[in-house]
Amino acid sequence: MLVKTKEVAPSVYGITIPTPFLVGPVNVYIIEGERLTLVDTGVKTEEAKRVLEAELLELDYRFSDIELVILTHHHPDHIGLVEEFDHATIASHEKTKPWLEGDQRFFEQKNDFFRELYTAHGVDENIVALIEKSNAYYLKYTSRIGIDVTLSEGDRIEGLPGWSVIETPGHAQSQISLYRERDGVLISGDHLIAHISSNAIIEAPYKGETERPKTLLQYRDSLKKCLHVKRAFSGHGKPVEDPKALIEERLQKQIEKAKAIKNLLGEETLTSFELCKRLYPQMYTKQPGLTLSETLGHLDLLEEMNEVKAVNENSVYRYCKVD
Ligand SMILES: [Zn+2]
């Protein structure tokens, strides 16, 4: 009999796949439900495909055996290889759709939105160019395919009895987690990661929305939704053995970071980009999108806590302390 050493929880198997990205390898999961399910696919490279094929074979499966693919969110390291499974049912959150379908109008509106956002937050032109270049680079590693089933909060999944969907937006607007009530197991995508804090990446409004979501505030709400989880299997790194402790630590660290940003602001009135440069003097040119998301996210949090306020002067936002 085949010994399935990759089993991380009953009927759940973890597979680790390399990516060319800074985040390192990504974890995908096989669930042996009524339908054989793959959660996330890894990135679209030859190497990732080879590794996924070989690892599946060790479980005695081929790509053609997969009947259901669930995508936790739209980032390329999670969805890149999905077109290899066009024979399977593809299920994901509604907001993964425009990314996977390559919706031109969505991408154009997104680009316009970010141009305006960056101008309003005082971001230098050369940094905007760097961000756009990096976005285009990531998009090379993804698939184009339609979604068969859209998943949202509380949904049960056909073919996967005992599992349900928890919407956990913050890291990505499309982020969902899969929860098994029987043993409190969560497949969390990038919502919970043990060794790094998930970035609450700023995104443009989606269809039917008019304003950008305040992603760090959303992320904090999504963290609080998962306090009951017993064990979480993450998109990157090791399982989260004590999700409650990790969540409480993350929530606390965000408050501490926000306060540090308020101190850095002192008595000055600064744009979020000026603050970003002070916070991340080395990193802001290397990872401009992420560092800006971090800065703006924590400014949103400080505004929510009524610790700072934003003043709009000539269409540029500047932040200062609330006395
Ligand atoms: Zn991600």
pLDDT tens digits along 132-171? 888 888 888 888 899 999 999 999 999 999 999 999 999 9
Report the separation in Å between the CA atom of 182 and the middle of ligand 1, taken as the mean of its atom positions. Answer: 27
Provide the β-strand partners of residue 320.
309
pLDDT tens digits along 168-215? 999 999 999 999 999 999 999 999 999 999 999 999 999 999 999 999
The answer, yes or no, to whether residue 49 has pLDDT greater than 90, is yes
What's residue 139's pLDDT? 85
% of residues, the chain, pLDDT over 70:
99
Q: 150 — phi, psi (to 5°)? A: -100, 140
% of residues, the chain, pLDDT over 90:
90
Q: What is the pTM assigned to this prediction?
A: 0.95
Report the separation in Å between the CA atom of 302 and the middle of ligand 1, taken as the mean of its atom positions. Answer: 24
The answer, yes or no, to whether residue 224 has pLDDT greater than 70, is yes
What's residue 134's pLDDT? 86
The answer, yes or no, to whether residue 4 has pLDDT greater than 70, is no
| Separation CA 23–CA 45 (nearest Å) | 16
| Separation CA 28–CA 70 (nearest Å) | 10
The answer, yes or no, to whether residue 2 has pLDDT greater than 60, is no
What's residue 323's pLDDT? 78
Report the separation in Å between the CA atom of 271 and the middle of ligand 1, taken as the mean of its atom positions. Answer: 27
Residue range 291-319: mean pLDDT, rounded: 96
Q: 253 — phi, psi (to 5°)? A: -60, -35
Residue range 104-113: mean pLDDT, rounded: 93
Which position has the token pair 């060794």? 195
Q: Residue 259 contacts by C-beta under 8 Å, 6 or more apart in sequence?
A: 307
| Separation CA 9–CA 206 (nearest Å) | 35
Report the separation in Å between the CA atom of 311 and the middle of ligand 1, taken as the mean of its atom positions. Answer: 32
pLDDT tens digits along 29-48? 999 999 999 999 999 999 99
**Cα dihedral across residues 31, 155, 98, 203: positive or negative:** negative
CATH superfamily assigned to domain 6-100+143-250: Ribonuclease Z/Hydroxyacylglutathione hydrolase-like (3.60.15.10)
What's residue 135's pLDDT? 86
How do beta strands 7-9 and 12-17 pair? antiparallel
Report the separation in Å between the CA atom of 269 and the middle of ligand 1, taken as the mean of its atom positions. Answer: 33
Report the separation in Å between the CA atom of 175 and the middle of ligand 1, taken as the mean of its atom positions. Answer: 8
